[in-house]
Structure 1
C-alpha cells in the first residue's frame, strides 16, 4: 500500500484530500498541531519538514499547505516566502532522497492579469503581489530539485470550512442590507472538494508504478472549475443558490471597481486558467463553477 504524507490537513484542500486519498494508500496527515500520528510540521521551519519526512518515509508527498493570507503577506514577506517558497524545495529535496514523488498546489496569482484569455501552462508568470511571488518561488524550487512532481495551479478556492469568499458572503448577507463587491476581477471559483477528487483521480492512474507515472506526467497543470466570473458574479450566484437565503438581511448587491475597494495586495484583473492540458493528459472532466456551487449550497 502506498504511503502518502499529507501536509496542511486542516486546510480547505487538505481536509478534503484526507478523504479522497484514503482509498489509494496509507495517508499520514500532519499540520502545525500534533496529529494522531504524534507528528507536527511547521513549513516555516525546514528542520521540522526534514524530520517528519524522514520519520514517515512516504512514497508520495502531497502538499496543499501554504501561507494563503494574500493581504497579510504584504507585511510578512519573510514568513510567506519561508512557507510558500522555501518549504516546497525542502520537501522536494527530501522526496528525492527517498525516491518519492511530490504533488504540490500553486495559484492563479502567479500571473499579472493583463491577458484577456485564459492562461496556459506555457504563459510567462509575472506575479503582482508577495503571495504570488512566493508561490512562484515554490514552483521553481521544486522544479530545480528534479524530483518527480505535479504542480497543480488552482484559483479562488472555497468550501464550507475555513476562511474564504463564500463563507464571508454568507455571513455578511445575514448582517447587512447592502453589499458592495468588486466586478472587474475575473477568475474561476473552485470548490476544494473538486480539487481533492481530481487529485485522487490522477493518483489512482499511477498506483501500479507511482514514481514512474509521476516521472512521465511530470510538470505543471492548471486545475480549476471551468467557466469564469467576477467576484460580483460569484457573490450573486452564492445568494441565488443558497438554500438558506430566506434568512438574509441583504436587500441589495452593488458592483464596484477595484479602486473602490483598495487592498494591501494588488490582485490580477484576469486570472482564469486554461484547463485543457490536465483534461487531455489525465482524462479529467472538470465541472463548471456554477454546478459545483449549486452542490455546495444545496440549491
Structure 2
C-alpha cells in the first residue's frame, strides 16, 4: 500500500502508468509534458510461448556443452566406509594382494639393476626378516637412542611382525637384462622359481615395510620402515620404493600415505618434503616448558594426500 502526503493528494498523483488522477474530477488524462516512467514490456503471446518451450532445450544444451568441455564433473560416488575398505584389503591373500596391486603388466618391482620382491609378514623368510632388522639396527638405532622412545630391539621386532605388514625386499640383480615374464611372476608372493636364485643376489640391500590401516579415522597406508644400505643410497632407489607404496595407496583408494620421521634425521626429512610430504595435522605438537621455552617432540608424523 502506497501512502501519499496531503500535498500529493491535493495536487493529484501520477502513478506508475503515467496517468494523472485529478482531485477535482474523475477524468483520467496523460500529461503531455511527461514521458511514461516505464516503457511497456509486453510481448506477443507467440514470443512468450516460444521462450517458454525453448528455455529447457537451451538450458540442456548449455549444460551439455559445459560437461563436454570438462568444466562440470559428475558427482563422485560416496567412499566406502574406512574400516570396511581396510578390512577388505587386509583380507586379501598374499597372491590376491599381488595380483590386485602388481599385475603381470606392472614394472614397478623392477628398478635398474635391482629386483624387488613383495612379501607379507606371513610369507617372509626368517633369514630375510633378520636381514631387514639388521638394516634397521645399523641405520637407525642411534636415532632411536637419542629420542624419547629409546632403542628397544624386542619392541621393534614385535612391531615388524604385526599383522597385515607388507614388505618390499630389494636385492641386486646378478643379470642386467630385463627379466622374463616368469621372473615377473616370481617376484610376487608365491613359490620361487629357478630364475629367482639365478638372477637375484642373496643379500638384501634395502627394504620398505608398510600397512593398510586406520589412523585418526582416516584410511591410510602407513610406511613403517624404509632403509637402504649406505652404498645404495642416492641412487633413486628410495624414491622408487616410495613410489611403489604411493601406488598401493592410490590403488587402494585410501586418503593418504603416512610415516614417522625423527627430527634429528634432517636428510630424511628433506627427502620426504621433496616428495610432497608435510607435517600431519595429528603430529604431536610442541610443548611449552615452565620457563617459556618451546620443546619440540623428537619425531614428527608426515603425510601426503594421494588419489
What's the TM-score, normalizing by structure 2?
A: 0.26
Choose 1 or 2 for highest CA Rg: 2
What's the TM-score, normalizing by structure 1?
A: 0.26
Decide which structure has greater helix share: 1
Decide which structure has greater strand share: 2
Greater RCO, 1 or 2 (C-alpha within 8 Å, sep 6+): 1
